[in-house]
Structure 1
Amino acid sequence: MRSAEHGSFSQAARRLSLTPATVSRNVAMLERNLGVRLFHRSTRRLTLTEAGESFRLAIAANLENIQAAIIGIATEGGEPAGTLKVSLPPTFGATHILPLLPGFLARYPRIRPEWHFENRRVDLVAEGYDAAIGGGFDLSPSIVARTLAPAHIIPVASSRYMEGRVPPTDPSDLAALNGIVMRSPGTGRIRQWTLRDASGREIPATLPESIIVNDPAAMREAALLDLGVAMLAVPDALPALDAGRLVRLIPRWYADAGAITLYYANRTLLPAKTRVFIDWIAEAFRERRLAERFAGSLA
């Protein structure tokens, strides 16, 4: 199906995290078992034969259920097993999700994690991901979204940078400080935020473009180097705030960037490996009260 979709064994292999040789060999094996040729092969592109197109149409509607049934029946004694492919934001994933992995693997030793730390919105179905954590994904009918915590943005700086400077009392005062800002890789624009407080007041927080980077982790590191004020997601700033390496400016003012969400494919038969991962993450957020800790409105 993926080879037909992309017209290429190599492209299908990239989508499935396999080698082109493996994809080509498996398709050839399927052709031998069926006794028909499914693809016309050329040096430039694959195209379906008439028999291949008929076969594709016949299996397309039931492919996900077939895959889920195979995974379900193949797990010995009902124990979750198999490769668990997950997409995670680099900083958030490494700081807050990766530490959960030892306990997860101790409980489910037959699951093999394949975790991709990346700043992009993946196509769960087309790229073969079991789950993704992030925000702003396309909520097509085939995708389920489970909210884990708020995604709040707060202004932070190092205490050394703030020495001798007048602390801001509202968002408009941030304009007098050096700004560490981010240029969006997607739009090319500098992201500026409007902050709100518990009473519902909203004031633009326009930071000077003193330093421009294109990565949230780089913003945090620049703030730790005493270079100015950065607008960071609470989870990204939290370890440095807890350690006293960064301080929060104008407490209780924050920008709402949506939610930190766990996404997975909406399947009638959800693979056991995916189901236990979803439950493990949700339970960890409850036990550690991460939704409250990540809320910029509460501190």
Structure 2
Amino acid sequence: METFSSLECFVRSAEVGSFAEAARRLSLTPAAVGKNVARLEANLGVRLFQRSTRRLTLTEAGQRFLGEVAGSLQTIQYAVANLASAEGQPTGTLKVSMGTVFGRLYIVPLLGEFLQRYPAISPDWHFDNRQVDLIGQGFDAAIGGGFDLPQGVVARKLTPAHRILVAAPAFIERHSPIRQPGDLQALDGILIRSPQTGRVRSWPLTNQQQEQSPLNIRVRMTMSDSEAACAAAQQGLGVALVSMPFAVPYLEAASLVRVLPDWYVDDGNISLYYAEHKLLPGKTRAFVDFVLEQFAAQGLAQKFDASLNR
């Protein structure tokens, strides 16, 4: 009977293609991971990896074995996690990835009540605007928009991912009335470039009747973050296209106003992502249910819907 640790070292090494990286994720030394895999190979009587100085590659037998044991290993891990509870409460380290500003504005404020309800859970929250490999990097959940949905990962919608045009009241006063998308062409724009590609995406504007119009605005500057774009627009430097959740505090403070309030950009949804499994760890289930509950109770999905809030 193979030990759990040997199987775990094999699966993690196969996922990342490196004993060193697997060791980092398992909090072991590379030598310990290598020995566990070698012991597994010796007991099975087959070579599972082709080893080189650059990367590990699964053999045909290794590929077949990985397909047979990976799911079972995850089932065992989830079962153990669900048993490891403090007085029946979910427990353990909760590793979650979320966007930096979105997390700070809307998820961190929930932390106090969450910990009061689940005191045995220890948050390990990572703030990053890039997509993570949920399963490969060992995250329990992630919050964001525009994620590729790999096999084994599910998404629960939190809110629409709408982008809106905003400007400072003083900027609006200095220019001719902006009544239709074509009026934007003569204005300075503050646009968002992708942190991954560095490119500025060409967004179509949509209205409540689902009519579309191209967004033609003179690019005065680009930012990689909606919060920074809001701060620039607040100084009267131009019309910014920003994510609705980031704009809400500025709109509520009246330091920014919507430009063409009947028009917005539909960028899909902001969702909660987690591994699909019938034995989802109690800590993950608690977090997912709690965030969904709080978003519903606070009406955040409606607040972030640009078609409703003009």
Deviation larger for 219-228 or 186-195:
186-195
Q: CA deviation at 1:251?
A: 1.3
CA distance in 2, matches of 1:48, 1:199: 53
The structure-2 alpha-carbon separation of the partners of 1:151 and 1:33, relative to structure 1 and needing over 3 Å to count, comes to closer
Matched, 1:277 2:287: yes
Match of 1:8 among 18, 23, 30: 18
Deviations 1:107-153 (A, max 9, x none): 11111111111122222111111111112223344111111111111
Q: TM-score scaled to structure 2, two decimals?
A: 0.84
- Corresponding residue for 1:110? 120
**Would you say the 8 A contact 1:9–1:20 is kept in 2?**
no
Matched, 1:222 2:232: yes
Deviations 1:32-61 (A, max 9, x none): 799859889886556789998897565323
**Would you say the 8 A contact 2:22–2:33 is kept in 1?**
no
CA distance in 2, matches of 1:117, 1:169: 38
**Would you say the 8 A contact 1:167–1:249 is kept in 2?**
no
Deviation larger for 254-263 or 197-206:
197-206
Superposition pairs of residues 1-299 of structure 1, within 5 angstroms: 1-13=11-23, 16=25, 19=27, 21=29, 24-25=31-32, 28=35, 56=66, 59-298=69-308, 299=310
Q: TM-score scaled to structure 1, two decimals?
A: 0.87
The structure-2 alpha-carbon separation of the partners of 1:109 and 1:169, relative to structure 1 and needing over 3 Å to count, comes to same
Three-state SS of the structure 2 residue aligned to 1:145 is strand
- Structure 1: which 5+ runs fail to align? none
Q: CA deviation at 1:100?
A: 0.7
CA distance in 2, matches of 1:161, 1:179: 12
Deviation larger for 139-148 or 228-237:
139-148
Deviation larger for 269-278 or 174-183:
174-183
CA RMSD, Structure 1 to Structure 2 (Å): 2.8
Q: CA deviation at 1:280?
A: 0.6
Supply the AA of the counterpart residue of 1:72. Answer: N
Three-state SS of the structure 2 residue aligned to 1:175 is helix
CA distance in 1, matches of 2:40, 2:49: 14
The structure-2 alpha-carbon separation of the partners of 1:30 and 1:201, relative to structure 1 and needing over 3 Å to count, comes to closer
**Would you say the 8 A contact 2:99–2:144 is kept in 1?**
yes
- Structure 2: which 5+ runs fail to align? 1-10
Supply the AA of the counterpart residue of 1:241. Answer: L
Supply the AA of the counterpart residue of 2:73. Answer: L
Deviation larger for 155-164 or 42-51:
42-51
- Corresponding residue for 2:5? none
The percent identity for this pair of structures is 48
Q: How many residues align?
A: 296
